[in-house]
């Protein structure tokens, strides 16, 4: 799951993949777990909670959900279980339901900071940026260690083009967790939008080193290289299945930069290598013709 992109090809937060199971909505007690619940020690419950949080941290949403479904019968009032329910719903893109759950947790002082964080993240995904900003600021005011809130605040400031504030928030997040690839990706995306290409490229490469499976950082590296005019390098090493998308993206950037011959070549190649009709590349070819027509008209007008 990623937050809404600010520009073509830029995904700001790389979170866990979505899951389709909805077992966390179950409310009826399971009699079969009654004996196990009575026999479970506090240490065992704490281990269960750690397993849930570790699954969420690693993006294993299905595993986390399965653990929550089991644990909610054993210790349904456990605050970590309640928070985990909301976190899973965010990763399932069920943002409205997640907000409802976090709203219930606002009443618990122990959960207050993370409840505000959950509401902020869900609202940001829904496009309610201003509401999200308010929630996220409440979260970090209560708990300054909530790195996801700081990173999400950086994203919010990117949406309103307040670059210095965005950078400051990303840096706070990194001061807390320099091992999180998503923060480096987010800051790199911000820098790319500012045309700070060398800085952006450095961030994306750190992100990919921390998490080699973070596909969004891999694509962002290709986009940055394209903006630098290093088209061949931007395409090199792309997997066969992603080549059409990479060629289209590189062509789009070349078009924006006014390099029309290169753009046309990449769009045509994207369509040729696509296993099915590449509608986006075809649309971009039409846009390219419009760009070229305006360019020719401007040249004719100057000669007159």
Q: Judge contact between 89 and 95, C-beta under 8 A.
A: yes
What would the pLDDT profile of 174-224 be if each residue is shown by its tens digit?
Answer: 999 999 999 999 999 999 999 999 999 999 999 999 999 999 999 999 999
- Whether 117 maps to a domain, the answer reads no
- Whether 280 maps to a domain, the answer reads yes
Question: Could you give the angle at which helices 260-273 and 279-303 cross, rounded to 10 degrees?
Answer: 160
What's residue 304's pLDDT? 52
Domain that holds residue 291: 234-299
- Whether 42 maps to a domain, the answer reads no
Q: Give the mean pLDDT of 254-279.
A: 93
Q: Give the mean pLDDT of 217-244.
A: 95
- How many domains are contained in the chain? 1
What's residue 107's pLDDT? 86
The residue ranking higher by pLDDT, 108 or 117, is 117
Residue 19 has pLDDT above 80, yes or no: no
- Whether 263 maps to a domain, the answer reads yes
What's the whole-number average pLDDT of the chain? 85
Which are the contacts of 226, defined by CB distance < 8 A and separation ≥ 6? 234, 249, 250, 253, 254
What's residue 64's pLDDT? 82
What's residue 36's pLDDT? 55
- Whether 129 maps to a domain, the answer reads no
Residue 292 has pLDDT above 90, yes or no: no
What would the pLDDT profile of 33-90 be if each residue is shown by its tens digit?
Answer: 454 555 667 777 778 788 887 888 888 888 888 888 887 777 777 788 888 888 999 9
Which are the contacts of 160, defined by CB distance < 8 A and separation ≥ 6? 129
What's residue 164's pLDDT? 98
Return the ∠ at Cα 148 (arms to 145 and 149), rounded to 5°: 80
What's residue 4's pLDDT? 42
Q: What is the pTM of this model?
A: 0.82
What would the pLDDT profile of 94-116 be if each residue is shown by its tens digit?
Answer: 999 999 999 999 888 889 999 99
Q: Judge contact between 85 and 12, C-beta under 8 A.
A: no
- Whether 48 maps to a domain, the answer reads no
- Whether 282 maps to a domain, the answer reads yes
**Phi/psi of residue 81, each to 5°?**
-65, -40
- Whether 107 maps to a domain, the answer reads no
What would the pLDDT profile of 136-176 be if each residue is shown by its tens digit?
Answer: 999 999 999 999 999 999 999 999 999 999 999 999 999 99
């Amino acid at each position: 799951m990623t937050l809404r992109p600010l520009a073509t090809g830029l995904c700001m937060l790389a979170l866990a993949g979505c899951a389709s199971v909805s077992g966390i909505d179950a409310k009826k007690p399971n009699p079969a777990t009654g004996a196990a619940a009575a026999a479970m020690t506090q240490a065992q419950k704490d281990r269960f909670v750690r397993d849930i949080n570790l699954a969420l941290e690693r993006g294993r949403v299905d595993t986390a959900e399965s653990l929550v479904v089991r644990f909610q019968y054993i210790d349904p009032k456990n605050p970590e279980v309640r928070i985990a329910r909301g976190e899973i719903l965010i990763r399932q893109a069920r943002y409205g339901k997640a907000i409802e759950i976090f709203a219930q947790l606002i009443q618990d002082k122990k959960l207050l900071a993370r409840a505000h964080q959950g509401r902020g993240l869900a609202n940001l995904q829904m496009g309610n940026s201003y509401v999200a900003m308010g929630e996220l600021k409440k979260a970090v005011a209560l708990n300054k260690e909530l790195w996801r809130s700081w990173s999400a605040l950086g994203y919010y400031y990117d949406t309103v083009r307040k670059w210095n504030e965005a950078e400051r928030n990303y840096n706070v997040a990194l001061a807390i967790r320099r091992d999180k690839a998503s923060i480096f990706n987010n800051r790199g995306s911000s820098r790319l939008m500012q045309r700070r290409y060398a800085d952006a490229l450095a961030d994306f490469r750190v992100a990919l080193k921390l998490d080699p499976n973070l596909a969004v950082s891999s694509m962002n590296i290709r986009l940055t290289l394209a903006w630098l005019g290093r088209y061949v390098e931007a395409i090199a090493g792309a997997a066969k299945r992603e080549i059409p998308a990479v060629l289209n993206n590189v062509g789009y950037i070349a078009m924006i930069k006014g390099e029309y011959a290169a753009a046309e070549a990449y769009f045509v190649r994207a369509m040729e290598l696509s296993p099915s009709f590449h509608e986006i590349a075809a649309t971009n070819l039409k846009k390219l013709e419009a760009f070229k027509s305006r360019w020719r008209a401007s040249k004719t007008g100057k000669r007159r």
